[in-house]
Amino acid sequence: MRRAVALLLAGLVAPASHGQQVVPGTAAEVVQLDVVVTDSNGRPVRDLTLADFLVQEDGKPQKLSLFVPSGSNAPEPTEEELVAAEAAEAAGEAPKSPGRSIAVVVDDLHIAPESIELARRALRRLPRELMRDDDSVALVTTAHGVIQQFTKDTATLGQAIERLIAQAPAFPPAAHSQMTAVQAELILRGDRNARKLAAKSLIAEPGSIFDTAGPRAAIAAANGGGNTSAAGGDAGKEAAAEDEVQRQARGVLAEALRYSVASLSGVEDVLRGLGARPGRKLCLLVSDGFLVGRGTSDERTRDLQRVTDAATRAGAVVYTLDTRGLISGGADASIAGNSVQPEFKAGIDAQSSAIYRTTLRDIALDTGGLFVSGTNEMAAGIARMLADNAAYYLMAYEPTNTKRDGRFRRIKVRVPAHANYDVRTRAGYFARDAKKPGPPPQRAVLDGGLDLDEAREALAQPLPGGGIPVSVDAAFLDLPATGPQALVRAHVELAGLVWDKAEGRNHATVELLGSAYGPSGQAVGAPFGQRAELNFSDAELKRAVAAGLEFQQSLSLPPGRYDVRVLAREKRIGQVGGGSAPIEMPDLADGALAASGVFLASAKAGADPQTQARGVRRVKKGENLFFQVYVYNAEGAGTRAADVVLQAQVWSNGKPIAASKVQPAKLATDGVTPIPETNEVGLSGLAPGPYELRVVVVDRKAEATVKRSAAFEIE
């Protein structure tokens, strides 16, 4: 009964959790905040009322138009609410809580190889024990983008986490420089010790050009660098080295900030994407930390404010986790060697560690989240983050400052009667700028600018008959580099398109849309799509019409049976065609015998199938058909005890008409990746037309059989 009331209250509050909104037809905004309050012992404070809070924007009090204790702060329901909730639950009308949307952003642009395994080990606990049933989790990296779209399936998320790998160093030293990014920032801030440390390191390098009699040292001293009376001595040498250090620092920091901006932009994009999702929205940023050039002429603090603005407008909170744990942060100064004074090195070490953490701390605090660092128990940090948002206060106000000047508005929330309380919420947002056109209503798009909502609507309709001919097939494949994938391939006939001709070229535009659907017809995951701009000469057009248009897409799907649909739309006159294909995604974790899809290639007899393009479904008369298939979970695989065989069969009109000899499966690997089973089938004597190749895999020891098939056509 309490659960029903909780769902009912969640349904009433959910619309207010979508983030900051602009009131239609006006310039006013409604700023929405999630506020977490803890006492001096870190325990959540749950009994506050609207009168307890003071909300200020740029120091001026704001009047709250919404105040709702949420999560476990929510008050006990009244008797009337209990009765209403029971009636709604009995009638099947109780609204369902949208749950939490958790975007895990792994900043692999700034994670060292030794840290990525610690991060992966900690994140494994998320699907295993920390996710709630109604949580949807996505996995994104700053280097590669989306690794796993939002999913509630813990197995799918777990497989995505295993695919995380370390990248090359994000900002290696610039050419001919051993200076690190954090040293460069300190030098450009004017830190005297950092400059001396780097200069002494430069002088101490084997083969250093900064010798006492060198012309550069003399010129630097003569121009006021160091003690001019000692142009040929140590002072002149150090002055010349410090000038070189200053020059190198600018290049090193510029390169580091390029990567920092990439990471911040990735987090900002994730946050803005969360805006359309209902319910509680969290972003977990996992990183070794990075610089924003504070105190230098190139600082990127405005990029930090853009992240805060994105969190405010999306109604999201960012939690940050320092993946360096208890590893010493002094690596930046380690190149100094024994010739450098230890007091310099110790000071730089301490500053280096603090600087890298500062950005992560500020992102968390400015969006109302927590920063976890200084621990090798990262999984406990993730658990703490997820538990932190269980109790919060949802507030909203319409700012008294209605100027549209594009400036950053700073937000401060306090509980005046309890100065010892820690109050966390988002730090501000950018006001609209009257000098710039307002942003158009944001709609999510697919590759090529295709509208996501329009794609969903088009794919939900029955597949059209006639129009553009589209054939589709889908095959399962699981390799260590990618994990389980559905490989979708569509072939679009181009003969019926209407072509525009200009300056001797033929033009047409074809939009391809697709999605996977579960057994009950529900869409699984986001649609995929692509816009193909076709531009051919007459000769190229003839070849293109003969070959058709090929489209491929890989999807991450949990175990189960699916139907994959693909639509092709011709842009000019609106021709539409479509096709579909079934696919089974086996659960390899259950240990049962399984096989990938069948990958086809055609070639003349005797040709090496490894040189042929996979996926070819048209075969010329007289050629042989080659196939590849991967076998999984064979009993005794990798030992002589395994006893697995396979056979290829050609079917036509539902009947077998040819078969290969039964051959033993090799079940080989290259040490990590399985090697596919490969064979060929002769097609001589078969008339042109459609056929089906079935590959039967039998594990004699396990008494198990699996079958996989692929359609092909003899021309």
Task: Determine the Cα–Cα distance for residues 512 and 497; give it in Å rounded to an integer.
Answer: 14
138 and 228: one domain?
Answer: no
Tell me if 439 is assigned to some domain.
no
Do residues 169 and 110 make contact, with C-beta atoms less than 8 angstroms apart? Answer: no
Tell me if 65 is assigned to some domain.
yes
The CATH number linked to 513 is 2.60.40
Residue of 643, 640, 635, 650 whose CA lies nearest to 690: 650
Q: Which residue has the tokens 């969903």?
A: 456
156 and 266: one domain?
Answer: yes
Give the per-residue pLDDT at 240: 79
Could you say which DSSP state residue 672 is in?
A: S
326 and 466: one domain?
Answer: no
Please, what sign has the CA dihedral across residues 176, 178, 181, 186?
A: negative
Give the per-residue pLDDT at 694: 93
278 and 147: one domain?
Answer: yes
Give, for 234, the enclosing helix (H) or strand (E).
helix 234-274
Tell me if 290 is assigned to some domain.
yes
Tell whether the model's pLDDT for residue 221 goes beyond 50: no
**Which parts of 223-233 fold into alpha helices (H)?**
none
Domain boundary among 568, 585, 602: 585
Tell whether the model's pLDDT for residue 135 goes beyond 50: yes
Task: Determine the Cα–Cα distance for residues 188 and 328; give it in Å rounded to an integer.
Answer: 24
Domain boundary among 557, 585, 613: 585
User: Could you read off the pLDDT of 390-420 as tens digits, one per residue?
Assistant: 678 888 899 999 888 889 999 999 999 999 9
User: Could you read off the pLDDT of 585-612 as tens digits, one per residue?
Assistant: 999 988 999 999 998 875 544 444 433 4
Tell me if 371 is assigned to some domain.
yes
Task: Determine the Cα–Cα distance for residues 144 and 287; give it in Å rounded to an integer.
Answer: 15
229 and 292: one domain?
Answer: no
Domain boundary among 585, 604, 629: 585
Could you say which DSSP state residue 8 is in?
A: H
Please give the residue that has the higher pLDDT: either 662 or 353. 662
Tell me if 440 is assigned to some domain.
no
Give the per-residue pLDDT at 335: 31
Give the pairing type, strands 100-106 and 280-287: parallel
Tell whether the model's pLDDT for residue 691 goes beyond 60: yes
Q: Would you list the DSSP string of 543-561?
A: HHHHH-EEEEEEE---SEE
Task: Determine the Cα–Cα distance for residues 533 and 177; give it in Å rounded to an integer.
Answer: 46
Please give the residue that has the higher pLDDT: either 231 or 352. 352
One-letter amino acid identity for 32?
A: Q
457 and 481: one domain?
Answer: yes
Do residues 604 and 624 make contact, with C-beta atoms less than 8 angstroms apart? Answer: yes
User: Could you read off the pLDDT of 233-286 as tens digits, one per residue?
Assistant: 566 677 778 888 888 888 888 888 888 888 998 899 889 888 878 788 999 999
Residue of 697, 652, 699 whose CA lies nearest to 679: 697
Task: Determine the Cα–Cα distance for residues 34 and 54; give it in Å rounded to an integer.
Answer: 14
10 and 127: one domain?
Answer: no
Report residue 672: phi and psi, to 5°.
-130, -50
Tell whether the model's pLDDT for residue 615 goes beyond 70: no
One-letter amino acid identity for 459?
A: L
Task: Determine the Cα–Cα distance for residues 35 and 66; give it in Å rounded to an integer.
Answer: 12
598 and 621: one domain?
Answer: yes
Q: Which residue has the tokens 């005046």?
A: 416
Could you say which DSSP state residue 62 is in?
A: -
One-letter amino acid identity for 636?
A: G
Task: Determine the Cα–Cα distance for residues 172 and 110; give it in Å rounded to an integer.
Answer: 11
Residue 580: partners with Cβ closer than 8 Å, 6 or more residues away:
463, 472, 563, 564, 565, 566
Please give the residue that has the higher pLDDT: either 460 or 494. 494
Do residues 613 and 628 make contact, with C-beta atoms less than 8 angstroms apart? Answer: no
User: Could you read off the pLDDT of 11-40 as tens digits, one per residue?
Assistant: 223 333 445 554 433 345 788 888 999 998
Tell me if 437 is assigned to some domain.
no
Give the per-residue pLDDT at 389: 66
CA angle in degrees (0–180, nearest 5) for 469-475-479: 145
What's the mean pLDDT when you consider all of the chain?
A: 78
Q: Would you list the DSSP string of 430-476?
A: EPPBTTSPPPPPP--B-GGG-BHHHHHHHHHSPPPSSSS-EEEEEEE
What confidence tier does 3 reach under pLDDT thresholds 50, 70, 90?
Answer: very low
Tell me if 480 is assigned to some domain.
yes
Give the per-residue pLDDT at 625: 83
Give the per-residue pLDDT at 412: 96
| The two structure tokens encoding residue 156 | 């799918």
421 and 531: one domain?
Answer: no
| The two structure tokens encoding residue 588 | 């390899």
**Which parts of 58-214 fold into alpha helices (H)?**
79-90, 113-123, 125, 154-162, 181-189, 192-204
- Residue 523 belongs to domain spanning: 445-585
Do residues 531 and 471 make contact, with C-beta atoms less than 8 angstroms apart? Answer: no
- HSE of 105, CA atoms in CB hemisphere, 13 A: 30
Please, what sign has the CA dihedral across residues 191, 194, 195, 196?
A: positive
Task: Determine the Cα–Cα distance for residues 627 and 644; give it in Å rounded to an integer.
Answer: 17
User: Total domain count for the chain?
Assistant: 5
User: What is the end-to-end Cα distance of the chain in Å, rounded?
Assistant: 66
Please, what sign has the CA dihedral across residues 294, 298, 302, 308?
A: negative
147 and 274: one domain?
Answer: yes
Task: Determine the Cα–Cα distance for residues 17 and 275; give it in Å rounded to an integer.
Answer: 9
Q: Would you list the DSSP string of 289-358?
A: -----TTSTT--HHHHHHHHHHHHHHTEEEEEEETTTTS-SGGGGGGG-TTS-HHHHHHHHHHHHHHHHH
User: Could you read off the pLDDT of 322-355 as tens digits, one per residue?
Assistant: 887 644 443 332 233 334 455 555 566 667 778 8
Give the pairing type, strands 599-603 and 631-632: unpaired
Task: Please give, one letter per residue, the 3-state secondary structure of 616-640.
Answer: CCEECCCCEEEEEECEECCCCCCCC
Tell me if 438 is assigned to some domain.
no
Give the per-residue pLDDT at 57: 96
What confidence tier does 364 reach under pLDDT thresholds 50, 70, 90?
Answer: very high
The CATH number linked to 145 is 3.40.50.410
Could you say which DSSP state residue 426 is in?
A: B
224: left (phi over 0), alpha (psi -120 to 50) or beta: left
153 and 245: one domain?
Answer: no
Do residues 218 and 231 make contact, with C-beta atoms less than 8 angstroms apart? Answer: yes
Across-strand partners of 215?
Answer: none
667 and 704: one domain?
Answer: yes
Mean pLDDT of 642-658: 91
Residue 478: partners with Cβ closer than 8 Å, 6 or more residues away:
484, 485, 588, 596, 630, 632
Tell whether the model's pLDDT for residue 95 goes beyond 90: no
The CATH number linked to 700 is 2.60.40.2550
